[in-house]
């Protein structure tokens, strides 16, 4: 009996630790173009901060750091760690827009891949980053390109592990910020390679509807859409069906919105007719601008729980965005679905950290806590064991005394 209790007590700590998953990721990007001062970042609100961006040199295929970015890179990690010494920093590598051709040119040639990989690791170490992010990659209809992408990821991870072993430093994190759909037609990302080589995949869960592309208002980051598959929930499920576990994903949260010009100011729901962008050339505006300039507060703001988004009406201007309610709901969704965390784009767009604080308002994440039953059982089991040990000691002592009295008779 005593052995059984003791064994159970010895087993409990391992059972408890096995129930603890990875730390909940609270990541954010800092975009150098924003000119938001790095010392002003409240790094206590994040577990990971990502510097955006480095690029790929289209002739040498090595990592390219622009002269305007380098001064910020040199001090970025040290600066954000002044307020939060445990924050992890990553360097993001942009591959979007016109850079797609450069990326695939690099990925399809072994010598180009080698130069890119070695230079990315070297630069990350030089500037004090703890990891690398490949940003905004989209799947291609070419299976050859997808195959070579998988080879790139394998070689990149192998090189990171080799560098870590040779330098005795912890391996760099390797993450992917990916397009919200894992496939185009029948062609998919190299999912096996992604699963084994990346620490996590940041799902860019926005840009679904844009005023430059559609003549009606839309929820550009809708969590759900009752009338179509253009929603985050559908696309997360698609990633999972293609083979990427939920625990490998972090959910993208946008700190920006898009402004449409309404055709009829009286018709202002999601899906209302519009004539194009408002406020800016592409309609993109930051959350901070909405609050401070557009005065998107009070009755001007509507929360749509069906789509899980907000919109602000200001005369003929219609702005779709995520406010506090939408952010909280999306973070809860990420936890309920077993995702690894969230990643915001980008921190400079927040308004006095309102959204970042809302994102972590509920820190009751069960994956960061011990199993509640074990927490209860452990002290109870320890008490029972103590009582049994004491009782056993007392009975044995009494038995020895009785035995001694018997032999003296």
Q: Which CATH superfamily is domain 23-254+324-373 in?
A: Glycosidases (3.20.20.80)
Region 289-313: mean pLDDT is 96
Whether the pLDDT of residue 18 is over 50: the answer is no
Residue 368 — pLDDT band, cuts 50, 70, 90? very low
Q: What is the mean pLDDT of residues 124-141?
A: 95
- Residues sharing a CB contact under 8 Å with residue 343, sequence separation 6 or more, in sequence order: 25, 27, 28, 29, 48, 50, 177, 202, 250, 251, 252, 253
Total residues belonging to the chain: 409
Task: Centre a 10 Å sphere on the Cβ of residue 296 and count the other Cβ atoms it contains.
Answer: 24
- CB neighbours of 161 closer than 8 A, spacing ≥ 6? 171
**What residues does each domain of the chain span?**
1-20+374-409, 23-254+324-373
What is the reported pLDDT for 22?
61
Whole-Å CA distances, 149 to 183, 328, 335, 337:
14, 35, 30, 28
- Supply the pTM of this predicted model: 0.85
Q: Is the pLDDT of residue 81 over 90?
A: yes
């Amino acid at each position: 009996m005593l052995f059984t209790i003791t064994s159970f007590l010895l087993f409990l700590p391992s059972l408890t630790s096995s129930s603890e998953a990875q730390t909940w990721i609270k990541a954010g990007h800092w975009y150098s173009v924003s000119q938001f001062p790095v010392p002003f970042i409240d790094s206590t609100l994040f577990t990971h901060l990502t510097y955006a961006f480095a690029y790929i040199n289209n002739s040498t295929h090595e990592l390219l750091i622009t002269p305007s970015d380098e001064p910020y890179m040199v001090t970025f990690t040290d600066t954000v760690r002044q307020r939060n010494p445990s924050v992890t920093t990553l360097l993001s590598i942009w591959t979007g827009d016109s850079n797609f051709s450069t990326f695939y040119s690099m990925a399809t040639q072994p010598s180009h891949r080698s130069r890119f990989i070695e230079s990315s690791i070297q630069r990350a170490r030089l500037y004090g980053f703890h990891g690398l992010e490949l940003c905004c990659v989209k799947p291609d209809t070419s299976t050859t390109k997808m195959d070579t992408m998988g080879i790139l990821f394998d070689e990149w991870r192998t090189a990171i592990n080799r560098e870590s072993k040779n330098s005795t430093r912890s391996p760099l994190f390797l993450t992917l910020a990916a397009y919200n759909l894992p496939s185009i037609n029948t062609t998919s990302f190299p999912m096996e390679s992604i699963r084994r080589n990346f620490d996590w995949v940041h799902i860019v869960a926005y840009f679904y509807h844009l005023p430059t592309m559609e003549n009606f208002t839309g929820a550009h980051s809708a969590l759900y859409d009752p009338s179509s598959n253009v929603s985050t929930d559908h696309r997360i499920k698609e990633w999972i069906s293609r083979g990427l576990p939920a625990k490998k994903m972090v959910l993208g949260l946008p700190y920006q919105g898009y402004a449409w010009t309404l055709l009829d100011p009286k018709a202002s729901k999601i899906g209302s007719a519009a004539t194009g962008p408002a406020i800016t050339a592409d309609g993109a505006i930051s959350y901070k601008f909405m609050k401070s300039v557009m005065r998107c507060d009070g009755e001007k703001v509507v929360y749509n729980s069906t789509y899980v988004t907000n919109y602000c009406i200001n005369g003929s201007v219609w702005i779709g965005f995520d406010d506090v309610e939408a952010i909280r709901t999306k973070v809860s969704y990420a936890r309920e679905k077993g995702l690894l965390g969230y990643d915001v784009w980008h921190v400079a767009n927040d308004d006095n950290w309102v959204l970042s604080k809302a994102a972590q308002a509920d820190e009751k994440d069960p994956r960061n806590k011990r199993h509640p039953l074990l927490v209860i059982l452990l002290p109870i089991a320890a008490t029972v064991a103590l009582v049994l040990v004491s009782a056993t000691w007392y009975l044995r002592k009494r038995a020895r005394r009785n035995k001694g009295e018997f032999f003296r008779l």
